[in-house]
Structure 1
Amino acid sequence: MMKNSIVLGALFLMLASCSLSKEIREQRDTINGTWILQDVSFEQEGDFKAKLFNDADAFCFEGSSWYFFENNSTGSYTINGNSGACPTGTRNIRWSVQEDPSGANRLQFKYIDEKKNDLYGRTGYGMDIVSLSSGSMTLKSNVNANGEMVSVIYSFNKQ
C-alpha cells in the first residue's frame, strides 16, 4: 500500500512538471533570482494614486527588492520605504507563471507566511509579462486608481 502511494505520488509530480510548456519553464528560469523594481508608472496620462497588491501606494514599490526562487516557487519582496509613508519590510510570496487564455503569460503571486502557508485564502495578484530578458523584466497590471481602471507598468532590473 505504501509503495503504491509513493509510485502514484512520483507519477503525479512527473506529470505536473511536464504540464508546463517549454516557454513557461524558460520564463520561470529567467525570473529566478533577485530583481529591483526600478520604476512604477501609469500607462495613461494623469496623476494617479493607487494601492498595489492590497499593500502600499505605487511609489512605495520603487526601489523594492523582489526575490524569486524557482525550485519551490516561493520568494519575497521588500519595501525599503520612500518618504517614511511606506510600510517597510519583507512580504513572503508563492509565485508562478501561467499562460493566460489570451495567449499572454502572466506572473502571479499570493502572500504566504514563514511556514509557506497561504494567507488570505485564494486571493492573489497577476501581472502580464510584457518583456523578459536575463537582465530586465517589464510587467503590466490593471488597477483601480482614483476610481478608474488604469494600467501600471513595472520595470525591473536583475541583480
Structure 2
Amino acid sequence: MKKILFLTAITLVLFSCKSTSATDTKLNKGSQVAMKGNWVISSVSYPGQEYIKVNSFEIADSQCFVGSTWKLVSNNNKGNMTLTNSKCAAFSSPITWFVNKSGEFVLKVLDADIKAKRVREGYVLAVENQTETSFQLVDKGNVEGKSISVVYQFQKVN
C-alpha cells in the first residue's frame, strides 16, 4: 500500500511539473479555425524602424514575402506557402502550422520528401489583430542589442 501511495505521489509531481513551451501542442482552436483558408501577405513592416534586411524563415528577404500566398488548413495543420514576388526567386513549400494556447503561431517549412515530425526547427510568431479577413504574424528579434519586430500583414483571399 505504501508503494502505491509513493508511486502515485511521484507520478503527480512529475505531471504537475511539466513545463509548457511555445511548441506545446495544445491548440487555441478558435484562433486556428479562424485562419482556415487562403491568404496573401499584403505588407511586411518594421514598427519603429527604417527598412531592415531580414531573411525571413531562412528563405528570402522579408520584402519577398509581400504578395506571397498561403493556404492554411486548420483541421490537419497543413498548408502551403508560395512566394510570387517578381523581384525575388520563386519559392513554394508545404508547411505545417498551429496556434498554441499562448496564441502563438508555430510554423514548420517542409521539404517535399521529409515528414513534419522529422523537421526539428520551426518558427514561433505572435498572432495579433486577428479578424475574419485579416491577421498579423509578428516575429520578434534582436539586432545590435535593439528589440525589433517584423510584422507580416495577412489578408483573406476570396
TM bin, normalised by shorter chain, reads: 0.7 to 0.9
* Aligned partner of 2:100 among 95, 98, 117: 98
Alignment correspondent of 2:77: 73
The sequence identity of aligned pairs, in percent, is 26
In 2, the alpha carbon distance for the partners of 1:110 and 1:121 equals 7
CA change 1:61–1:113 in 2 (3 A) is same
In 2, the alpha carbon distance for the partners of 1:82 and 1:144 equals 29
Are 1:58 and 2:56 an aligned pair? no
Structure 1, residues 121-144: CA drift from partner, whole Å, max 9, x if none?
Answer: 310011101111110111211145
In 2, the alpha carbon distance for the partners of 1:124 and 1:107 equals 10
SS at match of 2:127: strand
The AA in structure 2 aligned to 1:111 is: V
Alignment correspondent of 1:89: 91
CA change 1:53–1:149 in 2 (3 A) is farther
Give 1:112 deviation, angstroms: 2.1
Structure number with bigger Rg: 2
Unaligned runs of 5+ residues in structure 2 are 1-24
Mapping for residues 110-129 of structure 1, pairs under 5 Å: 110-114=108-112, 117-118=115-116, 121-129=119-127
In 1, the alpha carbon distance for the partners of 2:40 and 2:154 equals 5
SS at match of 1:59: helix
SS at match of 1:60: helix
1:49–1:57 Cα contact (<8 Å) kept: yes
Aligned residues: 133
In 1, the alpha carbon distance for the partners of 2:147 and 2:118 equals 23
CA change 1:120–1:46 in 2 (3 A) is farther
Structure 1 runs (4+) greater than 4 angstroms displaced:
144-149
CA RMSD of aligned residues (A): 2.3
Mapping for residues 18-57 of structure 1, pairs under 5 Å: 20=26, 24-57=28-61
1:50–1:145 Cα contact (<8 Å) kept: no
In 2, the alpha carbon distance for the partners of 1:154 and 1:72 equals 23
Q: TM-score, normalised by structure 1?
A: 0.74
